[in-house]
Structure 1
């Protein structure tokens, strides 16, 4: 799978269809214990049911391997009721990372009269200051990086965590396997991984009704915990840096700026071909992408093959978040990827007032941008097929009055709709935690809860 991952990051697509067929065949035969479920999130033409099958198989072998240790520990949970529900957040990203940038104001806003909030960190401090701010937001910040999976589970159980929340899923450096030891009576999949964890060790997934409609439940091992708006939090006070000149940002002085700052592995041949058609239909326009030395040359060559001058692809260097948000305002329109949508990059664009056009599929990862657009009351930017995506993006790029009107609506909605109301979001999330905990205390199995 390393070769497949490398080709996706490099945007080398000659054998993409071969790889898709091979991987899905392995999943269908029940042999997917070596295929990370994460791989399927960005793979075209993969269903949510197939993603669950891969996740189930991925964990099956690991559950078998750890069975003896889990049986030896056989955690039991306290009787009686505390006055506060004890929440544990598990991640390696408690530093300057997209997950922490989204969550910091939620952590700081938790109601300390109803909840005790613990962090379990297995990642290093990057020295950029966010770690110290995060540490202050928790009742206890516990470093478990040096512990084994079993030792980490013991530490969490010793602390009497009521609800353990995994923020990583099957992303890089994950230790989601801790949850298989069942160190807490209620366990939750939240934010970091846009899909199911499979198996039987996670009770709920935090979601919303656009992301995972009730009729999609069979594709998820977890029960749905529905928030009333979007599943994604976003800090309300994220500082936006100074607006640079176009020249300073490496952009031409004139011309429409299409933008996508998603990582290169999310780009597919179909999406890139569509972007080139948009460039062809908008003379003088440019496509602004996130710099990736492994993909840049291939993307320029592919643009040339589509009849587009390679110099119309511009690549942005990584910047600190404040500076990045400042320059992002120079984009005219963000173009989403499919089947793995923009996540933080989508909400960042909306935060600085740049619209995004998306195409929603049937998987969690392919519906995230649509979830955000619903929560900011701009559902007209959600399409359901690539033809509609192209036509909408082309219309906005070639009709300045239409785009200006849309941007004004976005600016009006920015602080008046639910998407960036982190205080209301925090109360809604806490309501889900209380509902989960009450079901547990009543001896009820996990079931769909939350907004109707």
Structure 2
């Protein structure tokens, strides 16, 4: 009827945006603005669509255009705040939300969005106050309920967090990622009712390409490597899709020294740094320049951070920079190989790699699985972690190291402190099974097996971390349901010093591994101090790590393949004192002679892998599976 009806062009753009047809939506907004250049809502809508596409600078430009036409457009102030938050310009974002709220005090979305920034700044109480304000205005605002749940989770107020996630899902059952977040908290607190139904729902939603769960939460629920891959691909496509805003990365000439850069939010007292610190120090400086991109500031005085700053050729704090700015900096520094040490875990910044920060990009150590992103070229593993027949479950090509994919810091040793069983609450003459794994790795099926072991080994106890109050209460109840006296479950308190924690291990007789998410760093810890680890090898990366480590220390006899075999061996080792003593003697000997704790050997292995990656790149060859053998250096 009227081809020049700007409002119709803009409204159609809004509908197209909701259908995720973003480029078409932008074309319609452009048509509206061509007809009516002073159409503030069309500029606002185009900016919102560009924000969805993660083109944040352009989104800001169109928010500014809308505000130049109508300075009282609260939505434009808020939308610009969202884009500024994504660019890590937090104070500016807060100022823009305040401007929006000054114009429109009952703007629930702006209250909630400001709460998100305050949460990122770890101003948790203020964040909660802002979410409460949003919910007071709009009680059915599902995102505000889930956002408040996130903060309550950070504050370890788990029961309240669960209630808030439940509320969000009750209002909006298909709200992105919240179902998985809820399940993760249930795992952390040992709240396992209906867990099988939860997993079934998540599995079906993942297979239907729905945004239901973060990849990390699935690792402890299922050993289905295909499900893990699919979930990672969905997450990567939504959170950090490939981005060509910086253009194709220029080909660099071959250098005398390969520039490798490690990216991590965990350059502090954290398991990733406990394992890697010596590696960074002993990299061959005649062949490599070694950079650190620190994605999150550490606490003042953090001893590990102080050590790491000396261990790199250059240590760069980039927390306040946007993903795009960090990728641009890496390009300017001509980084050849960028290694992501976190994957899709807490505080990670995988979006950096979506801009192609380096010609070669690698997933190693921090995340036990595929990142599901086409722009990550390699995943570092070994043949136990990823058998060749499993390669199709990984978006990356596999760089196979000869012994194990995991490194350790040989300087990390037990303190001289002598712990007594009495001070740790352990009976003097009982056999002590232990498991110092994280709370979310425990599950109902595992406790069934452990209970059968405890029933068979009468004079035995199980020593596990308290983790959190809800976990302790629920785990105790779960064991009681299996007719295990609560006095046989001994909860350990956190030791402030890692060296003291390692010394405390000496009180244990046998470490019982979890499945389907194994002990990783905790396996290294246990073997390092002479406590054997019994594991069950499964089908996924996360479920094969302990097997890799046991193989690398020459103890394959502690790797089992079925639950029945696992339980039978646990019972046998507890009852047969000579057999266990022989294994401990073998471990004590092997610890000094096998590859697991040979950090210089590991450095040579991974440097050989980096070199092969670089040689392929210089020869204009696409990434492909790489196999490193000891004979190569």
TM-score (norm 1): 0.97
**Preserved CA contact (<8 Å) 1:77 1:184:** no
1:329 alignment partner, SS class: helix
Q: 2:601 aligns with which of 415, 424, 428?
A: 424
Q: Which residue of 2 aligns with 1:296?
A: 472
2:507 alignment partner, SS class: coil
1:237 aligns with 2:411: yes
Q: Which residue of 1 aligns with 2:181?
A: 2
Report matched runs for 1:36-435 at 5 Å.
36-44=214-222, 46-64=223-241, 70-126=243-299, 127-241=301-415, 242-292=417-467, 293-319=469-495, 320-435=497-612
Q: CA deviation at 1:78?
A: 4.4
Per-residue CA distance 1:76-112 (angstroms, 9 max, x = gap): 2243221100000000000111100100110111011
**Preserved CA contact (<8 Å) 1:209 1:226:** yes
Which has a greater percent of helix? 2
Q: CA deviation at 1:128?
A: 2.7
2:617 alignment partner, SS class: helix
Q: In the aligned structure 1, how far is the partner of 2:255 from the partner of 2:389?
A: 36
Q: In the aligned structure 1, how far is the partner of 2:616 from the partner of 2:526?
A: 38
Q: In the aligned structure 1, how far is the partner of 2:427 from the partner of 2:199?
A: 38
Q: CA deviation at 1:252?
A: 1.5
Q: In the aligned structure 2, how far is the partner of 1:116 from the partner of 1:78?
A: 18
Q: Which moved more, 1:342-351 or 1:48-57?
A: 48-57
1:257 alignment partner, SS class: strand
1:408 alignment partner, SS class: helix
**Gaps spanning 5+ residues in structure 2: where?**
1-179
Q: In the aligned structure 2, how far is the partner of 1:35 from the partner of 1:303?
A: 29
Q: Which residue of 1 aligns with 2:210?
A: 31
Q: CA deviation at 1:199?
A: 2.1
2:515 alignment partner, SS class: coil
Corresponding pairs, count: 446
2:245 alignment partner, SS class: helix
Q: CA deviation at 1:267?
A: 0.8
Q: In the aligned structure 1, how far is the partner of 2:245 from the partner of 2:370?
A: 27
Q: CA deviation at 1:384?
A: 0.7
**Preserved CA contact (<8 Å) 1:117 1:138:** yes
Per-residue CA distance 1:290-316 (angstroms, 9 max, x = gap): 112220011111111111111111111
Q: CA deviation at 1:72?
A: 2.6
**Preserved CA contact (<8 Å) 2:220 2:441:** yes
Q: Which residue of 1 aligns with 2:619?
A: 442
2:399 alignment partner, SS class: strand
1:362 alignment partner, SS class: coil
1:81 alignment partner, SS class: coil
- Cα 1:385/1:188, change in 2 over 3 Å: same
Q: Which residue of 1 aligns with 2:134?
A: none
**Preserved CA contact (<8 Å) 1:163 1:187:** yes
Q: CA deviation at 1:227?
A: 0.6
**Preserved CA contact (<8 Å) 2:297 2:317:** no
Instruction: Quote the RMSD (CA, aligned, Å).
Output: 1.2
Q: In the aligned structure 2, how far is the partner of 1:104 from the partner of 1:3?
A: 34
Q: CA deviation at 1:284?
A: 2.4
Q: CA deviation at 1:340?
A: 0.3
**Preserved CA contact (<8 Å) 1:240 1:322:** yes
Q: In the aligned structure 2, how far is the partner of 1:373 from the partner of 1:155?
A: 40
Q: CA deviation at 1:180?
A: 1.0
Q: In the aligned structure 1, how far is the partner of 2:254 from the partner of 2:578?
A: 59
**Preserved CA contact (<8 Å) 2:404 2:596:** yes
Per-residue CA distance 1:365-416 (angstroms, 9 max, x = gap): 0000000000001001000110000000100011111110110000010010
**Preserved CA contact (<8 Å) 2:608 2:628:** no
* Structure index of larger Rg: 2
1:248 alignment partner, SS class: coil
